[in-house]
């Protein structure tokens, strides 16, 4: 197999590692915040309904806004899972790398892509393609983009929960 020369490899790995750490921290914080705010609002709705303070029909608009927030929260959680798994894979690969035993990078990437389930091969193939072109930073960049999108979805979730809260308060 052809040996690939990647310019400024160590510097690119350091930048990639920094991006991955940033993505992991941002993703983790947003995920916890959204989970707690959704759970707290669900507890409030349950309290209102259980104590017969208001009827379900009166709270229906608030419940629909809450359902929209939960759907956004699920998508946000999926992105958090991608970021979490990506950071763990990168960290484990760094631990397993041994300078004394060189790895055929092309063969490794082919085997890695083939080992993926069919529905996720596109992500591994994209990362491998960028890597083979000398863009080592691409993986960290993608994870950070996922974390940013997760934050946008978290913001939208909070907006829907705020609307749901407002609608519930109007009924009281």
Q: Would you state the pLDDT for residue 122?
A: 81
How far apart are the C-alpha atoms of 46 and 12, rounded to whole Å?
A: 50
Q: Tens of pLDDT along 121-171?
A: 787 788 778 777 778 788 888 889 999 999 999 999 999 999 998 998 888
Q: Tens of pLDDT along 47-63?
A: 877 887 777 888 899 88
Say what the pTM is: 0.79
CA separation, residue 5 to residues 12, 25, 52, 72, 170 (Å): 13, 32, 70, 42, 64
End-to-end, the C-alpha distance of the chain in Å comes to 71
Q: Where are the domains of the chain?
A: 9-171
More confident residue, 131 or 36: 36
């Amino acid at each position: 197999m052809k040996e690939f020369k990647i310019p400024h490899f160590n510097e690119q790995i350091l930048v990639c590692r920094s991006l991955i750490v940033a993505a992991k921290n941002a993703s983790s914080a947003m995920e916890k915040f959204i989970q707690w705010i959704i759970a707290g609002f669900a507890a409030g709705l349950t309290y209102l309904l259980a104590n017969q303070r208001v009827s379900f029909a009166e709270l229906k608009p608030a419940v629909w806004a809450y359902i929209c927030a939960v759907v956004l929260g699920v998508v946000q959680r999926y992105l958090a899972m991608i970021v979490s798994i990506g950071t763990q894979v990168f960290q484990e690969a760094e631990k397993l790398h041994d300078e004394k035993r060189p790895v055929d990078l092309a063969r490794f990437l082919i085997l890695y892509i083939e080992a993926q389930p069919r529905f996720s091969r596109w992500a591994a193939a994209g990362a491998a393609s960028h890597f083979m072109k000398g863009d080592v930073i691409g993986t960290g960049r993608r994870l950070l983009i996922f974390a940013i999108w997760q934050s946008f979805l978290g913001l939208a979730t909070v907006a829907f929960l705020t609307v749901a809260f407002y609608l519930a308060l109007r009924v009281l």
